[in-house]
A and B are shown apart, each in its own frame.
Chain A
Amino acid sequence: MKVLVPVKRVLDYNLKVRVKADGTGVDLSNLKMSMNPFDEIAVEEAVRMKEGGGGHPAGTATEVVAISIGPEQAQETIRTALAMGADRGILVKAEGEVEPLAVAKLLKAIVDAEQPGLVILGKQAIDDDSNQVGQMLAALLDWPQATFASKIVVAGGKINVTREIDGGLQTLSLETPAIVTTDLRLNEPRYASLPNIMKAKKKPIDAKTPADLGVDVAPRLTVVKVADPPKRQGGAKVKTVQDLVAGLKAAGVI
Chain B
Amino acid sequence: MAYDAETRAQLIAGVRRFVEERLRPIEAEVAEADAVPEWALKEMAALGLYGLSIPQEFGGLGLTMEEECLVGFELGRCSPAFRSAFGTNVGIGSQGLVMFGTDEQKAKYLPGIASGAIVTSFALTEPEAGSDSAAVRTQALRDGDVYVLNGAKRYITNANRAGLFTVMARTDPDVKGGAGVSAFLVPRELKGVSVGKPEKKMGQQGAHICDVHFDDVRVPAENRLGEEGEGFKVAMRVLDRGRLHIASVCCGVAERLIEDCVKYAGERKQFGQALASFQMIQAMLADSRTEAYAARSMVLDAAKRRDAGENVTMHASCAKLYASEMVGRVADRAVQIFGGAGYTADHGVERLYRDVRIFRIYEGTSEIQRLVIAREMMRGGSI
Asked if A197 contacts B22 (CB within 8 A), the reply is no
Residue of B nearest to A199 (CB): B7
Contact B49 A194 (CB under 8 A): yes
A195 and B51 contacting across the interface, CB-CB below 8 Å: yes
Q: Tell me the B1-46 residues at the A interface (CB within 8 Å).
A: 3-4, 6-7, 9-11, 14-15, 17-18, 20, 22, 43, 46
B22 touches A191 (CB 8 A): yes
What distance in Å separates the Cβ of A198 from its nearest Cβ neighbour in chain B? 6
Cβ of B47 within 8 Å of any chain A Cβ, yes or no, is yes
Closest CB in chain B relative to A13 CB, distance in Å = 11
Stretch of A75-83, A91-99, A172-180, A246-254 on the interface side: A75-83
Closest to B9 in A: A76
Q: Which of these, B9, B11, B43, contacts A194 with CB under 8 Å? A: B11
Using Cβ atoms and an 8 Å threshold, which residues of chain A touch B4? 201
| A193: nearest chain-B partner, CB-CB | B48
Does A192 sit at the interface, judged by CB under 8 A?
A: yes
Q: Which residues of B contact A198 (CB under 8 A)?
A: 3, 7, 11, 61
Say whether A194 contacts B6, CB under 8 Å: no
Interface of B (DSSP majority class)? helix
> Which residues of chain B have C-beta atoms less than 8 A from A194's C-beta?
11, 14-15, 47-49, 51-52, 61
CA distance A80 to B6 in the complex (A): 11
Q: A197-B11, A197-B14, A198-B61 are in contact. Are A191 and B43 (CB under 8 A)?
A: yes
> A193-B46, A197-B11 given as contacts; is B61 within 8 A of A79 (CB)?
no
CB of A191 within 8 A of CB of B17, answer yes
Which residues of chain A in 178-194 are interfacial with respect to chain B, using CB atoms and an 8 Å cutoff? 191-194
- Please list the residues of chain B having a beta carbon within 8 angstroms of any beta carbon in chain A: 3-4, 6-7, 9-11, 14-15, 17-18, 20, 22, 43, 46-49, 51-52, 59, 61
Please list the residues of chain A having a beta carbon within 8 angstroms of any beta carbon in chain B: 14, 76, 79-80, 83, 191-195, 197-198, 200-201
Write 26 A-B pairs (CB below 8 A) sorted by A numbering: A14-B20, A76-B6, A76-B9, A79-B10, A80-B10, A83-B14, A191-B14, A191-B17, A191-B18, A191-B47, A192-B14, A193-B46, A193-B47, A193-B48, A194-B11, A194-B47, A194-B48, A194-B49, A194-B61, A195-B48, A197-B7, A197-B11, A198-B11, A200-B10, A201-B3, A201-B4
